[in-house]
């Protein structure tokens, strides 16, 4: 029971629907920030047949309670996890991480089944056994790798590798004529459950490749693989090349459409700016025009003022009544040519007596007008 609780605490279950940073969710309990740590492994995990074991010391298996409380550094809890680990992915790494964190002091041993066992009991693999061994060796949580691991764990194998607990997900694994190959391990109290990572598995990855086979075949043809290496027929090879050319043409057309859209958008933006500027200038022009030529514009006031000045200039100046009388100098007499009589020049006294019908015009003085011209004032007698 304590192992189950410990497994739940250390489980980082990833959901496919709402992945977070590095595929994690809020349920994982991963802190958003953590201090930088330079501690890391520099060498891959060794193989079990390369490690020297001292069999002179007796090995006593620890209980679940002792393992949960923590063991001395020189006596770690030896946890075993096995699998095929084909196309090693994050689901495998997370399962091994959970196994590593089951107890405070854990030494993780990972068994990898050979190609012969895997092909007989499960099916054909994408990676061969050496590639799968190497992939598991370079997982940071692994301390030791067992090559050619058995399909069903025997007491002799558990004793040989001094295994305390076996870690695996608690879903019954039916294979090799058994409903659950881990049934006897569970009955012995040596089973420590882990949690599967939803949304990713080797079968899922292979399904993606098979489903999009044409896409990946074309991809590898572009990268230089031959049709023979890809096991592609001559007709399919030509078909893939034709599809590739069609896709390139489509991409070019799409790029041209995007560029034309960008150009049209820029032209629209510039035209809108020009229209706005034109509207502003037209408003300014109309406002200036109305200020000049409108009903109460400046032009009307100018015309009124000019008209008043003209009338004032044309009308004679009225002299004030109390102004002193200006003495006029005597001017020569003039007689109209159509008058019948001619009289000799007479003295001023005789002129006052003789007032004939003749019209005499006396030229008085020249008066300067407001416009700067001189007006001739005359009196008719």
Question: What is the value of pTM for the model shown?
Answer: 0.58
Which 8-state DSSP code applies to residue 73? T
* C-beta separation of 135 from 141 below 8 A: no
Q: What is the DSSP string of 264-329?
A: HHHHHHHHHHHHHHHHHHHHHHHHHHHHHHSTT-HHHHHHHHHHHHHHHHHSPPPPPTTSPPPPPP
Listing DSSP states for 7-33 in one string gives HHHH-----SSS--GGG--GGG---S-
The pLDDT tens digits along the chain (381 residues) read 444 444 444 443 444 444 444 445 555 555 556 566 555 678 999 999 999 888 788 888 999 999 999 999 989 999 999 999 999 999 999 999 999 999 999 999 999 999 999 999 989 999 999 999 999 999 999 999 999 999 999 999 999 999 999 999 988 888 767 888 999 999 999 999 999 999 999 999 999 999 998 888 888 888 888 988 888 888 888 888 888 888 888 888 988 888 888 888 888 888 888 888 888 888 888 878 777 777 776 777 777 777 777 777 777 666 555 555 555 555 454 454 444 444 455 454 454 444 444 444 444 444 444 444 444 444 444
Edge-first strand order for the sheet with 106-112 is 144-147, 106-112, 77-83, 165-169, 191-194
Residues 6+ apart with CB under 8 A from 371: 313
Segment holding 263, helix H or strand E: helix 234-293
3-class SS of residue 207: helix
CB 102 within 8 A of CB 8: no
């Amino acid at each position: 029971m304590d192992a189950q609780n410990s497994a739940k605490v250390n489980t980082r279950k990833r959901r496919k629907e709402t992945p977070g940073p590095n595929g994690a969710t809020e349920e994982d309990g991963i802190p958003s920030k953590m201090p930088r740590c330079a501690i890391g492994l520099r060498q891959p995990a060794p193989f079990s047949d390369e490690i020297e074991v001292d069999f002179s010391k007796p090995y006593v298996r620890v209980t679940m309670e002792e393992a949960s409380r923590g063991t001395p550094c020189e006596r770690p809890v030896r946890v075993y996890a096995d699998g095929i680990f084909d196309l090693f992915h994050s689901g495998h790494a997370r399962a091994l991480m959970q196994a590593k964190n089951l107890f405070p002091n854990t030494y993780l041993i990972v068994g990898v089944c050979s190609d012969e066992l895997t092909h007989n009991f499960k099916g054909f693999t994408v990676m061969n056994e050496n590639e799968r061994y190497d992939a598991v060796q370079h997982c940071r949580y692994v301390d030791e790798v067992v090559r050619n691991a058995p399909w069903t764990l025997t007491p002799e194998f558990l004793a040989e590798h001094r295994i305390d607990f076996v870690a695996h997900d608690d879903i019954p694994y039916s294979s090799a004529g058994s409903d659950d190959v881990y049934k006897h391990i569970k009955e012995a109290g040596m089973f420590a459950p882990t949690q599967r990572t939803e949304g990713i598995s080797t079968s899922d990855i292979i399904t993606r490749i098979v489903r999009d086979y044409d896409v990946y075949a074309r991809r590898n043809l572009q990268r230089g693989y031959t049709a023979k290496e890809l096991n592609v027929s001559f007709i399919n090879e030509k078909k893939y090349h034709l599809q590739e050319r069609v896709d390139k043409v489509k991409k070019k057309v799409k790029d041209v459409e995007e560029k034309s859209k960008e150009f049209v958008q820029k032209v629209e933006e510039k035209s809108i700016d020009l229209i706005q500027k034109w509207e502003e200038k037209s408003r300014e022009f109309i406002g200036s025009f109305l200020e000049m030529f409108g009903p109460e514009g400046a032009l009307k006031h100018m015309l009124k003022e000019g008209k008043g000045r003209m009338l004032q200039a044309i009308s004679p100046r009225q002299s004030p009544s109390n102004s002193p009388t200006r003495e006029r100098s005597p001017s020569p007499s003039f007689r109209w040519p159509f008058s019948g009589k001619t009289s000799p020049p007479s003295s001023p006294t005789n002129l006052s007596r003789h007032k004939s019908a003749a019209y005499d015009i006396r030229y008085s003085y020249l008066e300067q007008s407001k416009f700067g011209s001189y007006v001739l004032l005359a009196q008719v007698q």
